[in-house]
Each structure stands twice: as C-alpha cells, then as structure tokens.
Amino acid sequence: MAGQQFQYDDNGNTFFYFLTSFVGLIVIPATYYLWPRDQNAEQLRLKSLRRVHGRCLWYRLRLMKSQQSIVPTLKKAVLLFGWAVFLLLAYKVSKLDREYQEYNPYEVLNLDPGASQSEIKKQYRVLSLKHHPDKGGDEATFMRIAKAYAALTNEQSRQNWEMYGNPDGPGATSFGIALPAWIVDQKNSMLVLLVYGLAFMVILPVVVGTWWYRSIRYSGDQILINTTQLFMHFMYKTPNMNMKRLAMVLTAAFEFDPRSNKEATIRPTDNIEVPQLIRELGNINVKKKEPPFCYPYSLKARVLVLAHLARMDISEELEEDQRFVVRKSPALLQEMINVGCQLTMMANSRGGFHAPRLVTIENCMKLTQMIVQGLQESKSPLLQLPHFEEEHLRYCISKKYKVRSLQDLVSLKDSDRRSMLRFLGEEKYDEVMAVLGSFPHITMDTKLQVLDDEDSNNITAGSIVTVTITLSRKRMAQGDTSKTKTKVWQNKSKGAKKTAKSKKKKLTKKKATPAPAKAKQANGNVTGNVREWEALQQSIQRRERALLETKSKVTHPVYSLYFPEEKQEWWWLYIADRRDQTLVSMPYHVCTLKDTEEVELKFPAPSKTGNYQYSVILRSDSYLGLDQIKPLKLEVHEAKAMLDNHPQWDIPDTEEEDEEQEDSDGIEESEDDDEDND
C-alpha cells in the first residue's frame, strides 16, 4: 500500500533549490533599492547648478565627496558578488538530474513509443552486451535497462507501469526536505545547536534591543526626547526669549553631548582653542553657571554657532565640529517652534501659565535664517550675495541709491545698479546678478471664509474661520519688485484715506439704493448657497488629495555661502495678532512650494463682536529679508439665534394622522399575534 516518506536531502540537490530562491529574494530587491543611482545624472545636476551655487560651501563639499567617496563602488561590488552567487546557484540547479520526472521505459531503451516486441528484444540485447557489468559496463545503467525491458515484456510490470507509472507498482510518496542530512546528523548536533543558539538567543535579541533602545530615545523627527523636554522646560520658564538666550538654549541640546550622541566630539585641543575663540567673540555669558549652559559641550557648541554667524576663521578640527553643529541646528530650531506651538495650544485650552510670546517663536525662525546664511542679526541682507563685504555696503546705502534690501537692489535700473556696483568686475557682477535672479519672489493671495456656515462671508463670534492662501513662487528677477507699487507693510497716507472716504460719501449720496424684489433676493440666496456648497466640496476634495498625495520636499536649492549641506527652500506661514503678540493660527511649514501651493489656515473667531486686525505672515527658513506680512481684517458679528421652527420640521397634519394610524395598526397586529400564541 502506498504511503508517505519524509527524508532529508542526502545529495544536497533539494537544498540548492532552497538556497537559490533564498539568495534571489535578497539580491533582487537589494539591487532595486541599494544600487547607486546614475552618477552621471548627479554630475549633470551639479554642473547645471555651478553657475549660481559654485561658491557655496555645500557645493564644494559635495564635489569633494563625489570624488573621494568609495561607498557607491563598494555597494556595486557587493551587489555584483550577490548576483554572481545567484547565477552560479541557478546554473548548478539547471545541471541537477530531474528526480521526479515521469518514468518512460522507451526512453531508457532509446526506442520510439509503440515499438514491436522483436525490436524491444533486439535493442535489449545490444544494450545489455554494452552495459553488462561483466563486460565492464555500469551496474546502475544495466539495472535501468533490465527494468525497462521487464516493463515492456512482462504483462504484470506493463500493467503497473500503465496504471501507476512505475513497473514495480504503487510506491510511497516521497517528500524531500530542503536541508542537507548532515544538519540532523548525531556528530554535528553540538555545532548546529551552537549556531542556532548564537543566532536566535544572542544576535537577534541584540539587534532588536538596539533598534528598540534607539527608537524610544528619538521622536518622529529624529530629535532626542531629552532635547524636546529641555526645550519645553526653558520655553515654559522663559516665555519671552531674546536671541542671545535662544542661542544658549539651542546649543544646550543633547545632540551636541558626546554622551548622548556619538557624532558629537570633545577634543583635547578644545581646552586651548575654545577659550581663544571666546576672547575673540567677547561677551557670550561664559560666567553663567546655570546648567546645562555651563557644561563643556554646550559652551563649545555655542561658541561654534556664534563664530559661524560672525564668519570667523577657525582651525580645521574645529571647522569639522562646527559643520556638525550648524548642520543640526535648523532641525532643532524647528523642534523649538513645534514645542512653542504645543505650549501655546495648552495655554489656550487649559490656562494657568503664560504661552510663549510671538517674538520667541519668530526669533526661532529668524535664527534659522541667520544660521543658514551665516549672518548676525544686525547685518545687511545684501551680505548673502557673493563678493559683498562690509566695506562695499557704503556704496549701496548712499543717498544716491538708498539700497538696503535685496528688493531695492533688483528694482534699480540696470545702469544705476552697474554704476553702484562698480567695485565688482564684469564676471563678478554677472555672478551676483545670476545669484540674485535665483532668489525667490513670493506672491500671496488670501481668501477669508467660514466654510461650514450658510453664509460663508459672514464671520460670527466663535465660528471656525478658514483662510485659504495661494502662494506663487517666481524668481526675483521675474517678480514685480518696483518701488512705485505700495508694499504690504507700507500704510497709505491719511490724505489718500480722506479722499477715498469723501468719494464714497458722494457716491452714496448720488445713488439711491432701491429695495430689491423678493424673487431676486431668493434667487441670490439660492446661487449663494450653491457657491458655498461648491466651495465646501472643493475644500473637502483638496484635503482628500493632500492626504493621498505625497509631494516631494525637493523644491529649490538654497544659495548659502557658509551652510555645509544642500538645503531646500522652505517657508513658515501663520496668522498672528501683532498687537497682542500672540499666535492666531499655528505656523504651517510649507515644504513643497515649487511653483504654486495652496494652504488652508483655520482658527476660531473671537468670542466678542467687533473689528480685528490680524496679519498673515510668510517667513523663509533660509533667506534673510524675504519675509512678507499681509494685513487681514476681521469683522465679527453676533451669532444667529437658534431657530425654534424650521420649514423642514413642519409636518402636515395628514402625515401625522397617517403615522398615528400606522402605529395603532401595528399595536393591534402585535396584540392579535400574542393571543394566537397563547
């Protein structure tokens, strides 16, 4: 009777199938994800950026890294070795004998199917004389020939072959285990047990434990949890934080402590070089004994940041440490902004403590710009351009030109600009204009509405106000920066206001307001409701698209002479009450503005009626002098009283009688059913 047999692979053939599949499952995905991208494409990208970004520190470091790095070569070598092993195993598998192919005696005897008995006997004699062991032939081959001859001449063997595919009759079903037999051999038991114990009791727990220990130490933005708690403590303690205090809190982050971060280093030469830098920088609150500001790692990081802002020359060893500190700072300042927003929301909802002032959060944003550009707070934004030095600024701020900002420089006539920048040669002037033309010029369009209300343009006390802001980015050379147009931060003259008011009064006197007809009013309400409904649907669709789409955060590379890595151009967008120095809406980090971006900011309207003056503020996280402020006026009305009666709630008397009749019929039917059951 046929049974089942499980056996290990003594020959190792089945194991090769398993090994080939295993190596293929590793090599194929690894090649897709780890194969170095086309280096020529990266070189072409860098070549296209050379005209504008050629003097930037990050650009020079990237060129050096691409020339010196051997990581892509090592990746290619490892992956090619894996493919070589995979192809070798596949070739080995292709040469293995097929153990489970269908048995055919005609093939063994080299005969065509349907050969006669005389042909079978004749072929058997020829092959047996050739392969008989006594004649020097192979015994296994001779046994296969004899078995095939019996299958074709013996009646019982032929029936077994035709029914079961085997002359010997039904056999046991054989299952091969794709592991070599030496694994379960008694002689190798200790070695196999040792390998299993090392893999599953040592290596696996260590890997999982290391990953878990690292994951619980870091937040989702890869900031140490201890650093976030440190920022929260000091922002709670000092709601109104000036720039000097902010730099101290930033450089106290545990990312700069070698005990918490292996990338941070404390060198023996720091005891000599850091005090020397302190003397050159001047007053940096060295004598302050408040921990952790007095710790060596915090003091060193603070000195390196201040030296970076002052554009001081330092030694090569300190310069390497400075690049590490500067590279980490923007992400840490973003975490400080997030912490400030959390404390503001907690103060608004719970109360009991003072939320961080608006100036504190804006100082975090401004310090990010300063670190990216390597400039102190009091310095001119023109120093972001190449070949500009302090002594050149006197030509710009002279009475003839009065150029104090990048926008002023762009708006000059070309002849005046060339005359003002006469200290630059022709090549340097062209480079300055190319860099200036790559700077961003953003236009903001705002739309104020209450989406969930019947009248979206009527803002009532306590309603949720939605401000839809459309940002459009162009290059500064393409943007409209002419001096003739009134900028958003410039107020109109009082005379202009008076003339405008007088014109409005005259117009109102001349034109009488006729009473609108009821039909027109009804039609207007219907069309208004339709528009509001369409706006609400569009807003919902935008939210759904934003959830489903994952836009790239690669926007435009920032021109920065002293920042050590390539940074993308991002922005902060928020609404604030500058009179009360409070946030109205939390800052939204715009990381996907390449050409056009639409952002929705929501905030609750004030609980008291009246006119309110807010500001929509756009701040760059990379450039100085490109921030924009746009006024936002709010007229808050009283909320409408809840209606006691509504047309939808009016039910005709006939419908009420029908419903009562149906209810009574249902009660009578249920009573009849109960009587039947009894």
Per-residue confidence (pLDDT) for residue 135, from 0 to 100: 77
Report which of 303, 341, 4 is spatially closest to residue 170, judged by C-alpha positions.
Answer: 4
pLDDT, residue 321, reads 95
Among 391-400, 508-517, 561-570, whose mean pLDDT is lowest? 508-517
| 616: number of Cβ within 10 Å | 22
Averaged confidence pLDDT in the chain? 81
Kindly state the average pLDDT of the residues 635-659: 65
Cα–Cα distance, 157 to 152 (Å, whole number): 7
Render pLDDT for 174-195 as a digit per residue (tens, 0 to 9): 555 666 667 767 788 888 889 8
pLDDT at position 81, please?
93
Lowest mean pLDDT of 101-115, 266-280, 381-395, name the range. 101-115
Whole-angstrom distance, CA of residue 169 vs CA of residue 664: 81
pLDDT digits (tens, 9 = 90+) for 464-495: 999 999 999 999 864 444 443 434 334 434 44
Measured distance between the N- and C-terminal CA atoms of the chain, rounded to whole angstroms: 65
Q: What are the domain boundaries of the chain?
A: 7-95, 105-164, 185-216, 217-369, 380-438, 440-477+551-639
pLDDT score recorded for residue 548: 53
In angstroms, the Cα distances linking 484 to 408, 411, 473, 645 are: 11, 10, 21, 57
pLDDT over 80 (residue 549): no
Q: What pLDDT is recorded for position 192?
A: 84
Helices (H), 402-446: 406-411, 414-420, 426-438
* Model confidence at 384: pLDDT above 90: yes
pLDDT at 520: 46
How far is Cα 241 from Cα 357, in angstroms, rounded to an integer?
Answer: 8
Tell me which of 454 and 87 has the higher pLDDT: 87
Q: Look up the CATH number of domain 105-164.
A: 1.10.287.110
Give me the CATH code for the 440-477+551-639 domain, please.
Answer: 2.60.40.150
d(CA 564, CA 321): 11
pLDDT tens, residue by residue, 578-616: 999 999 999 999 999 999 999 999 999 998 999 999 999
What average pLDDT does the segment 223-234 reach?
95
Work out the percent of the chain whose per-residue pLDDT is above 70.
76
Model confidence pLDDT, tens digit, residues 124-175:
888 888 888 877 788 888 888 888 888 778 777 777 776 766 676 665 555 5
Integer angstrom CA distances of residue 614 from 577, 579, 588, 634 = 5, 9, 16, 8
Among 186-195, 379-388, 422-431, 433-442, the least confident range: 186-195
Q: In sequence order, what DSSP letters do the residues of 176-187 get, joined into one string?
A: EEEEEGGGG-GG
- Residue 200 CB neighbour total at 10 angstroms: 10
d(CA 261, CA 254): 7
Q: What is the DSSP string of 338-377?
A: HHHHHHHHHHHHT-SSPPPPHHHHHHHHHHHHHHHHT--T
Cβ atoms 458, 528 nearer than 8 A: no
pLDDT of 365:
97
8 A C-beta contact, residue 75 and residue 34: yes
CATH 3.40.50.880 fits 217-369, yes or no: no
Compute φ and ψ for 590, nearest 5 degrees: -85, 105
Q: Which residue has tokens 């490892």? A: 78
For residue 631, name the pLDDT band (cuts at 50, 70, 90): very high
Tell me what pLDDT residue 202 has: 93
Instruction: Return the amino acid letter for 449.
Output: Q
Q: How confident is the model over 655-667, as pLDDT tens digits? A: 555 555 555 555 4
Residue 163: per-residue pLDDT: 73
- 380-438: CATH homologous superfamily? 5' to 3' exonuclease, C-terminal subdomain (1.10.150.20)
Residues 228, 335 contacting (CB under 8 angstroms) = yes
From CA 563, how far away is CA 437, in angstroms rounded? 20
